[in-house]
Amino acid sequence: MKFFDSHAHLDDEKFNDDREEIIKKCIDENNCKFVTIGYSLDSSRKALNLAEEYDLYATIGISPNDIPQTKEQLWKDLIEMEHLVKTQIESNPKLLVAIGEIGLDYYWNRDNKELQKEAFIKQIEIANKYDLPITIHTRDAVDDTLEILKFYEAKNAGIFHCCPHNRELVKQGLKLGFYISFAGPVTFKNAKNADEIIKMVPNDKMLIETDSPYLSPEPNRGKRNDPRNVKFIAQKIADVKNLTLAEVARLTFKNAKTVYRIKK
Ligand code: NI
């Protein structure tokens, strides 16, 4: 059985002591593929380097929690970010599979909503220009996220990562052609409507992810997360949808390859 973790942060400093060991274990022992996701200029560069070194996939993006304080600096960063995308596409396009994570987060940052929106919109435009899907982070910002997506269409759609358990978001997201990616919180005992949300997502639109090193699923909640734990998310989906673990592994693997347009 092989798994595809659609969203992990292997560049995170929590892996500084054993990054190589973990990556090799995920690939060799667990037969796991994964995308290491950028969230800032620095982490995007690191993600690309890791993808290059270990034959993985990466994304480039500036997350709503990593945008600079001033408009001037934000635009400098966005220009730099686009340059990084362009350079990667010219040198080795295969390992760059999406723009992200990008989006809006009004849970952690309420004072810079306009800057967040500007960054989100500009990065959707960059994704469209370079013909890439996007991966979206949204927290406490469902209405504004959907409004932007309806107005600034992401041509290749993409993924709602660690999808909030919000009916309207899932309904509208699916309508816009997006994939829904489930993470550790669906396994938490206090996850209110996780089952209902899982049932809303058709088999050909669901993805699994760890968001490592954060959000470890049960039974490893509270510990450092890594892509090997993605099987617990798959098991939860299998239980809710009455599928076997192997079926969920196969479906989510195929869906990840489709949304990220991975050929091999
Ligand atoms: Ni993430």
Per-domain residue ranges of the chain: 3-259
| CA–centroid distance, residue 161 to ligand 1 (Å) | 7
| CA–centroid distance, residue 36 to ligand 1 (Å) | 9
| CA–centroid distance, residue 91 to ligand 1 (Å) | 25
**Could you tell me what percent of the chain has a pLDDT over 70?**
100
Question: Is 90 exceeded by the pLDDT of residue 29?
Answer: no
Supply the DSSP string of the chain, one letter for each residue.
--EEEEEE-TTSGGGTTTHHHHHHHHHHTT-EEEEEPP-SHHHHHHHHHHHHHHT-EEEE---GGG--SSHHHHHHHHHHHHHHHHHHHHH-GGGEEEEEEEEEETTT--TTHHHHHHHHHHHHHHHHHTT--EEEEEES-HHHHHHHHHHS--TT-EEETT--S-HHHHHHHHHTT-EEEE-GGGGSTT-TTHHHHHHHS-GGGEEE---TTS-PPTTSTTSPP-GGGHHHHHHHHHHHHT--HHHHHHHHHHHHHHHTT---
251-263 pLDDT tens trace: 999 999 999 999 8
| CA–centroid distance, residue 195 to ligand 1 (Å) | 22
| CA–centroid distance, residue 135 to ligand 1 (Å) | 9
195-230 pLDDT tens trace: 999 999 999 999 999 999 999 999 999 999 999 999
| CA–centroid distance, residue 9 to ligand 1 (Å) | 7
Q: Domain 3-259: what homologous superfamily?
A: Metal-dependent hydrolases (3.20.20.140)
| CA–centroid distance, residue 137 to ligand 1 (Å) | 7
